[in-house]
Structure 1
Amino acid sequence: MIKTSIASALVLFCTSVSAQVAPESALQVQHPERTLFTDIVDNEGTLIAVGKHGTIVTSDDGKHWQQAQVPVQSLLTAVTSLSADKSWACGHDSSILFSSDKGQTWQIQQFLPQQQKPCLDIEFIDPNVGFAIGAYGMFYQTEDGGKTWHKRFIDDFVHPDDKDYLRELKEDDPQAYEEETQFILPHFNRLLTQQQQLFLVGEMGLVAQSLDMGKSWQRLDEFYPGSFFSVASYDDEEIIVAGLRGNAFIANIDNLEFRKIKTPAKATINSLVNFENKTYMLANSGYLFGYEKGEVDSSQLSSGHAILSAVTFKNKLVLATEKGLKTWEAKK
């Protein structure tokens, strides 16, 4: 998942600059916690953050960070954990990494720089079944914990007439089919599992729902034409989607009739996190918009650095920003 317009620009950058065919290990640096970070997760008391040039760092206290051994130098965009021995990260070069030791060391499960497509989010619904999504409709699925990843083309988002054409093309000319479908779909930016359903958001107002764990998808009627970078649960009954220029919407999970949330600034919202009974929208220019029961308040980092992600840790938020990792505590 890329979380900001900064990272979105890097999506475009990757289409013109290809990584080496063979991966190179991330460089070990003196202060790895000061670079661009795109995502962060709490793995049973150990924080794992991923970011620029294949940098992955871990911490048990949110203050002192250790750099992990990572076999790629690709920009990493997302990280997820199910347990101490099961973490995954993904990023540019269609890279997918796996760690069995709380993020200390990582192994490559997939690395396809020739595709020039970044993976933008990765989620697992159990130790075996997971999804990796990204630019131009990238959609990979695994049923063995990532040992093998299978590419899928989600034709549910294609016009019915085009479906027939693509079906015939796949049978008659598989190579032409691959070329035709390479850039036909929008970017898939973020994936959410909620109440045995999957929600997918992305470019050009894409909000889609799957009731069968990704086997089929239904795109919701468009209610906003811009890109969404994040989707998250607000409570057990509602979800929030958010994206460009501070646009955010909330809906009941049963009817999915989205209504607008008024935010106090037009800063692109990159990620959502639940903290102290609020859902915080983490945005460019250092904004944190706190949503609770229809009301929105606003805080801002003095640095103004874009916030790409965050995680609740020891009664504080640990923020992944464009200039490193920071802790933040809500004002009482």
Structure 2
Amino acid sequence: MKLLLCTLFLLGSFSSLAEPMQPQAAIMAKKASQTLLTDIVNHGQGLVAVGKYGNILTSKDAINWQQAQVPVNVLLTSVFFIDDQLGWATGHDATILHTQDGGLTWQLQNYQPEVDKPLLDILFFDNKNGIAIGAYGLFYRTTDAGQTWQSEFQSTLLYDEDVEFLEELKQSDNDAYLNEIKAILPHLNQVTFYQGKLLMVGELGLIATSEDLGKTWQRLEEIYPGSFFDIKVLNNGQWLVAGLRGNVFFSEDEGVNWLAIDTQSQSTVNQILVTETGALLSANNGVYLHFENKEIVKKQHADGKALLSAVKHNKTIVFASEVGIQVQESK
């Protein structure tokens, strides 16, 4: 859950171990798979999950997990693969990691503890061009597969009154202006790429779209004042957004009009997994929601722990959770 990710700054170290797995390495990997994991993805080589202490875990069967070689011990928040081999992960201290071997080993591309802000999501459009987003409008772009990352201030996300305020401040006190732009934008929580358009959600009800790969943005009309943590386009073309206190909305006209969904829950929704017939929503308190035909079916994981992300693997749903990997039979 992004709310949790923004508050867990003081985390200890954790060993990174290489293959082949020795008994002690297997024990450590098992322990890592039972601690906070924030994101999980499925790609050609198998499953990759990231989380606390810089842990990155890989698995081919969702049962046996290996701990990847990672050069940092910060809380990692998101992982993305463009193909079977090339992937990136983000985390606190503006951390960006890169793998070229399907997640087995990782190299550091960006690390700025002086920024003191987490990156919360990362997305690549191809194997060269990508963006990373995070707290207080943190936004980085690369055009060379992450060899270099350039910070961008997304001024088109500002309200008109903020634009006027910043212009006046810049004229009167440039140092104050430079400090203000570091905090004036909302947290940017998640971004999706769909048919050439970017969809992004964040703090304070932010839903925004971009048709030029994030160089400029158009804010959609506010439908809820709280934070959204995910947005996805379903297979039937519906847009689905979800966030704080179980608030979920869908649109059948690309964000022009939205309808609220009764989730029968006030548990914050952390992630949306698109399925063949709808979506699966991972939420706090062990809640997960099946969305299909404009209706929600609520289910409850027995231990009541936060479910932060999910993927479908064979006939199971594999969750990244507050207490590590959780496996549930698919309906």
* SS of residue matched to 2:7: helix
TM-score, reference length from structure 1? 0.90
| 1:198 is the counterpart of 2:198 | yes
Residues 95 and 110 in structure 2, CA contact (< 8 A), matched pair in contact too: yes
Q: Runs of 4+ in structure 1 displaced over 6 angstroms?
A: none
1:30 & 1:46 partners in 2: Cα distance?
A: 16
| CA gap 1:30/1:85 in 2 versus in 1, 3 angstroms | closer
Residues 18 and 116 in structure 1, CA contact (< 8 A), matched pair in contact too: no
User: How many angstroms does 1:169 deviate by?
Assistant: 5.8
1:1-332 mapped onto 2 (5 Å cutoff): 3-10=1-8, 14=9, 26-28=15-17, 29-31=28-30, 32-163=32-163, 166=166, 175-331=175-331
2:29 & 2:50 partners in 1: Cα distance?
A: 16
User: How many angstroms does 1:129 deviate by?
Assistant: 1.1
| CA gap 1:264/1:255 in 2 versus in 1, 3 angstroms | closer
Residues 5 and 268 in structure 1, CA contact (< 8 A), matched pair in contact too: no
Q: Runs of 5+ in structure 1 lacking a partner? A: none
1:237 & 1:213 partners in 2: Cα distance?
A: 20
2:104 & 2:16 partners in 1: Cα distance?
A: 15
| CA gap 1:8/1:93 in 2 versus in 1, 3 angstroms | closer
User: How many angstroms does 1:91 deviate by?
Assistant: 0.5
Residues 29 and 67 in structure 2, CA contact (< 8 A), matched pair in contact too: no
User: How many angstroms does 1:115 deviate by?
Assistant: 0.8
User: How many angstroms does 1:300 deviate by?
Assistant: 1.1
TM-score, reference length from structure 2? 0.91
User: How many angstroms does 1:237 deviate by?
Assistant: 1.6
Q: Which moved further from structure 2: 75-84 or 26-35?
A: 26-35
User: How many angstroms does 1:27 deviate by?
Assistant: 4.7
1:117 & 1:163 partners in 2: Cα distance?
A: 23
1:311 & 1:18 partners in 2: Cα distance?
A: 26
2:221 & 2:99 partners in 1: Cα distance?
A: 39
2:143 & 2:15 partners in 1: Cα distance?
A: 28
Residues 11 and 74 in structure 2, CA contact (< 8 A), matched pair in contact too: no
Residues 4 and 269 in structure 1, CA contact (< 8 A), matched pair in contact too: no
Corresponding pairs, count: 320
1:109 & 1:173 partners in 2: Cα distance?
A: 34
User: How many angstroms does 1:30 deviate by?
Assistant: 4.8
Question: In the TM superposition, what whole-angstrom CA distance separates every residue of 1:7-38 from its partner, at most 9, and x where no partner exists?
Answer: 3432xxx3xx599xxxx875553522111000
Q: CA RMSD in A?
A: 2.1
